[in-house]
Amino acid sequence: MQIGPYTLDSPVILAPMAGITDRPFRQLCLRMGAGMAVSEMMLANPDTWNTEKSRKRRYHTDEHGIRSVQILGCDPMLMAQAARQNVADGAQIIDINMGCPAKKVNKKQAGSALLQDPALVREILDAVVAAVEVPVTLKIRTGWDPEHRNGVEIARLAEQAGVRALTVHGRTRACLFNGQAEYDTIKAIKQAIAIPVIANGDIDTPLKASQVLAYTGADAVMIGRAAQGQPWIFRQIRRYLEQSEAPTAPTLSEVRALVLEHVQTLHHFYGEYQGVRFARKHVAWYLEKILENQDFRRGFNALVNASEQLDALKYFFDKLQHNEEQIAYV
């Protein structure tokens, strides 16, 4: 799939997820086979740019892979300013968030709330596309609620404004993450526009990815929650799509090495105090499919320094070394 001058070597993309798709996780997913990994959303309000959290999110110049950075806001001029700033910080693609369903975001008329105002959508798209020379992409939901699925209308506005690719999550804002994603709207959007369309929502296995691509005609799929605790899903989907290869579970040794590497990278990236805290949720996701780990997780969450976390993980995996039947990653 092509986005402006950039060619993705895999049609499987890591979704932007606040508090999750930080640099360590993006780089890991790229190595595991993702064709692109989109950053956590950056707020358009410049008053937020110099916080410690934002500084960790902002700089991308020495990252591997195609550097796509998502921005969030509702003011066209501030969104344009944010796009320019992120390009200066190393972004090669600017992705606009019009899909976030979080109440605190929608109360500020940002994220999926914008789908209620197509005129403002067009203003924002025009402003951002005009502000930067890099490709601009857009992520949306199918509409505000099931009675107002205006995804096709928004998709056409995006194409007219010069957006180079569109990601569609197969739920409305009102659906949040409840029920099942629907793909009819994504199929209709793909038929209505010529730019690449990326399907998103409930794609959690290689077979599901293949089925969604076949049904919608989409150019790629985007994986979000299904990548938490199993970044190898990108490798599995890629092999299935390219070679019809049945997914194989990683060995316990592979999981051990990957978890330890990820946790060490978090410690290094954030520093010990924050890194230890970020590591807890990722370790919980990695281990949630391993039987009888509740006691370990409670103890792990009580640890407060990096060396203790690494020692605990080594001990835990060493105990399991001869019991790989406890792993159920596929």
pLDDT at 324: 55
28 and 164: one domain? Answer: yes
Strands 220-223 and 136-141: unpaired
Using pLDDT thresholds of 50, 70 and 90, give the confidence band for residue 73: very high
pLDDT at 329: 44
Q: Is residue 175 annotated as a catalytic residue, yes or no? A: no
Using pLDDT thresholds of 50, 70 and 90, give the confidence band for residue 312: very high
265 and 207: one domain? Answer: no
Q: Which of 40-49, 89-98, 114-123, 249-258 has the lowest mean pLDDT?
A: 40-49
163 and 273: one domain? Answer: no
pTM for this model (two decimals): 0.93
pLDDT at 325: 47
Indicate if the pLDDT at residue 322 is higher than 70. no
Rounded CA-CA distance 218/159 in Å is 15
Is residue 38 exposed (0-12), middle (13-18) or buried (19+ Cβ within 10 Å)? buried
Number of domain units in the chain? 2
pLDDT at 109: 87
**Average pLDDT rounded to a whole number, residues 179-198:** 97
To the nearest whole percent, how much of the chain has pLDDT over 90? 78
**Average pLDDT rounded to a whole number, residues 150-162:** 97
Q: What's the CATH code of the domain at 70?
A: 3.20.20.70
Find the helix packing angle between 151-161 and 184-192, rounded to 10°. Answer: 30
Rounded CA-CA distance 279/274 in Å is 9
234 and 292: one domain? Answer: no
The pair of three-digit structure tokens given for residue 35, joined into one six-digit string: 């064709």
Q: Of 29, 74, 100, 175, which is the active-site residue?
A: 100
Q: Which ranges of the chain does DSSP label H, i.e. alpha helix?
A: 23-31, 52-58, 76-88, 103-106, 118-131, 151-161, 184-192, 206-216, 233-243, 252-270, 272-287, 294-301, 306-320
Indicate if the pLDDT at residue 330 is higher than 70. no
- Give the structural domain span for 9: 2-243
Burial code of 184-200, b = ≥16 C-beta within 10 A, e = fewer?
ebbbbbbeebebbbbbb
Type of residue found at 199: A
C-beta separation of 245 from 38 below 8 A = no
**Average pLDDT rounded to a whole number, residues 161-188:** 95
Closest by CA to 71, choosing from 136, 145, 7, is 136
The pair of three-digit structure tokens given for residue 313, joined into one six-digit string: 């993980």
Bigger pLDDT: 92 vs 249: 92
**Average pLDDT rounded to a whole number, residues 219-235:** 97
